């Protein structure tokens, strides 16, 4: 048995609050503990997803949250994996539970994000590829998003309206989510009339940077039964794979691809391999999913995730969207939470927030955005420096 139980899920609403990430994470942790029906003293391990923008405390997030909640002797771990930090924190907690190191683990991630796009860590850093792509190319994240969008338009015939409809879909879901930052419907016309940021993408095609926090209380299945949770949501798989050489598709933060002259490219691209590893561990396939939460840094990238998760064939992402399959009420809703389009990025928290959404959906407590009969869901995102992230949860 490799399942672990999700006893509690909690969030601090996303926005631009101008306060410390510690406040957001602590609020989310207390909400998760209350949801689990257990006390802070029952937690034997805290795994914190780090923020590199929150000053020194961000580098020791596990201990930061443990101190904020009140020292009580629990072991702590801090994890940094860029946008995959939250999923790696979940994976670390799961490993501790399955190894018998702790029966109950609190996972927390939170961030206080800057205004505008994310910049690399400060100082002269010529050995840092993230710093180099800013210094040498001036390539902000939206530049890459625009390149991906142009690639899809060229290879698959995606249109600007296809991209806009992703925003329309996610804004409609986010309007139903009390934790979302943006809670208003958006029309395709509003997307089309918003300023161009990185051609062909406009402002409403690209996610914002946000403050927010999310937390989970995970436990062994035996503890869950003793606690009276006879049929909890269970985490069945976590994928944190890395790319396979050679990488023939340009990806953040790199400014060049690997050469494929001497070695054939792998059969699966990086994002496809993230999902494949999660499916294999869970013993499930795309056809078994009730919903998915994916990292829609841009509208075009969400369409790519449809294909990478095997929800449709290569080049068929826009077709799946046009059919309404990925909207609430569709065959396989994607980003029923509203996604980053409605939340914005709070990097260490987002992958944890994705699992919170799966938890509420699988419990049947997601309110107006509830996916009917949800039994299995997958999260997916990708972090800088080759960090993959996918979590499969079941009920």
The band of 250, judged by pLDDT with boundaries at 50, 70 and 90, is confident
Taking the C-alpha atoms of residue 213 and residue 26, their distance in angstroms, rounded to an integer, is: 8
- CA pair distance 375, 289, nearest whole angstrom: 7
Task: Work out the pLDDT band at 211, boundaries 50, 70, 90.
Answer: very high
Chain centroid to CA 124: how far? 30
Question: 77 pairs with which residues across the strands?
Answer: 47
pLDDT in tens, 11-34: 999 999 999 999 999 999 999 999
DSSP 57: G
The residues, ordered by sequence, that sit 6+ positions from 44 with a Cβ below 8 Å of its Cβ are 74, 75, 102, 103, 104, 105
* Mean pLDDT of all residues in 349-361: 98
Q: What does the longest C-alpha to C-alpha distance in the chain come to?
A: 58
Identify any residues that bridge with 11 across adjacent strands, giving them in sequence order: 214
Task: Give the HSE-up count for residue 216: Cα atoms under 13 Å, Cβ half-sphere.
Answer: 33
Q: What is the pLDDT of residues 128-176, one digit of tens each?
A: 898 999 998 889 999 999 999 999 999 999 999 999 999 999 999 999 9
Given a cut of 80, is residue 53 above it in pLDDT? no
Is the bond into 293 cis (omega within 30 degrees of 0)?
A: no
Mean pLDDT to the nearest integer, 82-103: 97
pTM of the model: 0.97
Q: How far apart are CA 286 and CA 279, in angstroms?
A: 8
Per-residue pLDDT of 361-392, as tens digits, reads 999 999 999 999 999 999 999 998 999 999 99
- Scored b (16 or more CB within 10 A) or e, 156-192 reads bebebebbbbbbbbbbbbbbbbebbbbeeebebebbe
Give residue 289's pLDDT band: very low, low, confident or very high (50, 70, 90).
Answer: very high
Give pLDDT, residue 1: 61
Distance (Å, whole) CA 291 – CA 296: 15
Instruction: Please check whether residue 133 is in contact with residue 139, taking contact to mean a CB–CB distance below 8 angstroms.
Output: yes
CA distance 276 to 54: 34
Q: How far is CA 264 from CA 102, 145, 246, 261, 273, in A?
A: 44, 26, 7, 7, 16
**What does the DSSP 8-state code read for residue 120?**
P
Nearest C-alpha neighbor of 241 from the set 389, 142, 131 = 389
DSSP 8-state class, residue 311? S
Contacts of 290 (CB under 8 A, 6+ apart): 332, 333, 361, 362, 371, 373, 374, 375, 376, 377
The reported pLDDT for the residue numbered 60 is 85
Neighbours of 148 (CB within 10 A): 21
CB under 8 Å to 193, separation ≥6 — which residues?
Answer: none
Q: In this prediction, what percent of the chain has a pLDDT beyond 70?
A: 99
Element (H, E) at 47: strand 45-49
What pLDDT score does 55 carry?
A: 67
What is the bridge-based pairing of β-strands 376-383 and 291-294? parallel
Lowest average pLDDT, out of 156-170, 254-268, 329-343, goes to 254-268
Mean per-residue pLDDT of the chain = 95
Radius of gyration of the chain (CA): 20
């Amino acid at each position: 048995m490799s399942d672990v139980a999700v006893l509690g899920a909690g969030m601090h609403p996303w926005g631009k609050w101008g306060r410390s990430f510690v406040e957001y994470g602590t609020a989310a942790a207390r909400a998760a503990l209350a949801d689990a029906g257990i006390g802070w003293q029952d937690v034997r391990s805290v795994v914190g997803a780090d923020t590199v923008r929150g000053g020194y405390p961000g580098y020791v997030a596990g201990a930061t949250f443990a101190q904020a909640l009140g020292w009580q002797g629990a072991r702590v771990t801090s994890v940094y994996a860029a946008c995959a930090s939250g999923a790696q924190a979940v994976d670390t907690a799961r490993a501790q539970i399955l190894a018998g190191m702790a029966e109950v683990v609190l996972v927390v991630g939170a961030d206080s994000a800057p205004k505008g796009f994310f910049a690399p860590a400060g100082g002269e850093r010529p050995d840092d590829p993230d710093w180099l792509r800013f210094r040498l190319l001036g390539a902000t994240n939206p530049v890459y998003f625009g390149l991906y969008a142009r690639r899809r338009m060229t290879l698959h015939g995606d249109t600007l309206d296809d991209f806009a409809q992703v925003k329309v879909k996610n804004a409609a879901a986010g309007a139903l989510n009390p934790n979302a930052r943006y809670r208003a419907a958006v029309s395709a016309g509003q997307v089309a009339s918003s300023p161009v940021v990185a051609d062909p993408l406009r402002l409403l095609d690209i996610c914002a940077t946000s403050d927010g926090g999310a937390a989970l209380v995970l436990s062994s299945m035996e503890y869950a039964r003793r606690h009276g949770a006879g049929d909890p949501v269970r985490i069945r798989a976590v994928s944190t794979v890395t790319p396979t050489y050679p990488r023939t598709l340009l990806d953040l933060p790199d400014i060049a691809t690997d050469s494929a002259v001497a070695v054939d490219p792998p059969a699966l691209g990086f994002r496809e391999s993230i999902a494949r590893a999660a499916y294999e561990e869970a013993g499930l396939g795309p056809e078994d999913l009730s919903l998915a939460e994916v990292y829609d840094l841009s509208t075009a990238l969400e369409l790519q995730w449809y294909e990478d998760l095997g929800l449709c064939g290569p080049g068929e992402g826009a077709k799946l969207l046009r059919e309404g399959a990925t909207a609430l009420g569709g065959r396989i809703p994607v980003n029923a939470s509203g996604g980053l389009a409605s939340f914005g990025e709070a990097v260490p928290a987002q992958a944890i927030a994705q699992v919170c959404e799966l938890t509420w959906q699988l419990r049947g407590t997601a309110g107006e955005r509830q996916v009917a009969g949800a039994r299995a869901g997958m999260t997916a995102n990708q972090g800088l420096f080759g960090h993959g992230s996918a979590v499969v949860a079941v009920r």
